[in-house]
């Protein structure tokens, strides 16, 4: 089954404790991206990756890191989480044949993160 | 900076009423346009998309959208809504013809349909 898998789905942590949210897709998609969803603000892009070893900043990259060492995985790293990073996070992937995001985005189920 | 505006934050309708949700974007070049839906507690799913050709596109579940280039708009419509259409709807835009991977979402419109 084609899917984007995120882990963990729910996490409560404390300020400053490093955490990683994993994202894996089994569709051989080049493009992957992370979004955070906050009430009244919609989805905001954190980072995206056009292919392996190619990553770039979205609208709200501060406080986050990503890596793309393999095509299927795109982990989101919070080196020192703060309460303003409490949010619902979505990973997504898409085909990307060099024309921007032309394909449908496939979203993961979301990871709800609370930073105390 | 590019932006996507969804004019209605919350729309409340009765079943069988017609729906139109507005979406305007600010990018001046050629764009790909999307509408996504998020049912309560779920992730986003694609409703429909426009890349080129006929500006009136049809999606799943009876939804359609019309691209009006002169107005930078991509409004979503459905002639007769159902209770099961209760969800949050997001318009999204991405520039074309480049390697840019930026995808811009509107803030979303919450649709509540009363049976």
Does the pLDDT of residue A68 top 90, yes or no? yes
Sheet strands (E) in B1-115: 4-5, 10-14, 19-21, 24-25, 31-38, 45-50, 56-58, 64-68, 73-78, 87-95, 104-105, 109-114
Give chain A positions within 8 Å (CB) of B43.
90, 107-110
- DSSP conformation class of A63: T
Q: Which residues pair with B21 in a beta bridge?
A: B76
Q: How many CB atoms lie within 10 A of CB B43?
A: 19
**Across residues A17-29, what is the average pLDDT?**
95
**Across residues A55-76, what is the average pLDDT?**
95
Does the pLDDT of residue B79 top 70, yes or no? yes
Do the Cβ atoms of B99 and A41 come within 8 Å? no
Q: How far is the C-alpha of A11 from the C-alpha of A114, rounded, in Å? A: 6
Q: Taking CA atoms, what residue in A is nearest to B37?
A: A107
B70 shares contact with chain A (CB less than 8 Å): no
Do the Cβ atoms of A48 and B102 come within 8 Å? yes
Q: Taking CA atoms, what residue in A is nearest to B2?
A: A59
Do the Cβ atoms of A100 and B44 come within 8 Å? no
Does the pLDDT of residue A8 top 70, yes or no? yes
pLDDT bin (cut points 50, 70, 90) of residue B3 is confident
Residue A9 near residue A91 (C-beta atoms within 8 A): no
pLDDT bin (cut points 50, 70, 90) of residue A112 is very high
Q: How far is the C-alpha of A9 from the C-alpha of B114, rounded, in Å? A: 31
- Note the pLDDT of residue B99: 47
Sheet strands (E) in chain A: 4-7, 10-13, 19-25, 31-38, 42-51, 54-57, 65-66, 76-78, 87-94, 106-107, 111-115
Q: How far is the C-alpha of A17 from the C-alpha of A65, rounded, in Å? A: 14
**Across residues A63-76, what is the average pLDDT?**
97
Do the Cβ atoms of A100 and B43 come within 8 Å? no
Q: Looking at per-residue confidence, does B42 or A5 come out higher?
A: A5
Q: Looking at per-residue confidence, does B61 or B31 come out higher?
A: B61
Does the pLDDT of residue B109 top 70, yes or no? yes
Give chain A positions within 8 Å (CB) of B95.
100
Which of B6, B43, B102 is the closest to A58 by Cβ?
A: B102
Q: How far apart are the first and last CA of chain A?
A: 36
């Amino acid at each position: 089954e084609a899917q984007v898998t995120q882990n963990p789905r729910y996490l409560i942590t404390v300020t400053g404790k490093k955490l990683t949210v994993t994202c894996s897709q089994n569709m051989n998609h080049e493009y992957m991206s992370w979004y955070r969803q906050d009430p009244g603000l919609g989805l905001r892009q954190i980072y995206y990756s056009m292919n392996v070893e190619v990553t770039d900043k979205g609208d709200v990259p501060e406080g986050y890191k990503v890596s793309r060492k393999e095509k299927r995985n795109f982990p989101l790293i919070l080196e020192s989480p703060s309460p303003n990073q409490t949010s619902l996070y979505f990973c997504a992937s898409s085909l990307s044949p060099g024309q921007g995001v032309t394909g449908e985005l496939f979203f993961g189920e979301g990871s709800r993160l609370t930073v105390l | 900076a590019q932006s996507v505006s969804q004019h209605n934050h919350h729309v409340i309708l009765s079943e069988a009423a017609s729906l139109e949700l507005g979406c305007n974007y600010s990018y001046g070049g050629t764009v790909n346009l999307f509408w996504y839906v998020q049912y309560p507690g779920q992730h986003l799913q694609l409703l429909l998309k426009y890349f080129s050709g006929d500006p009136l596109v049809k999606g799943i579940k009876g939804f359609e959208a019309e691209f009006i280039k002169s107005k930078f708009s991509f409004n979503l419509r459905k002639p007769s809504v159902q209770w099961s259409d209760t969800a949050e709807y997001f318009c999204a835009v991405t520039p074309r013809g480049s390697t840019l991977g930026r995808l811009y979402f509107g803030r979303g419109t919450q649709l509540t349909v009363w049976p």
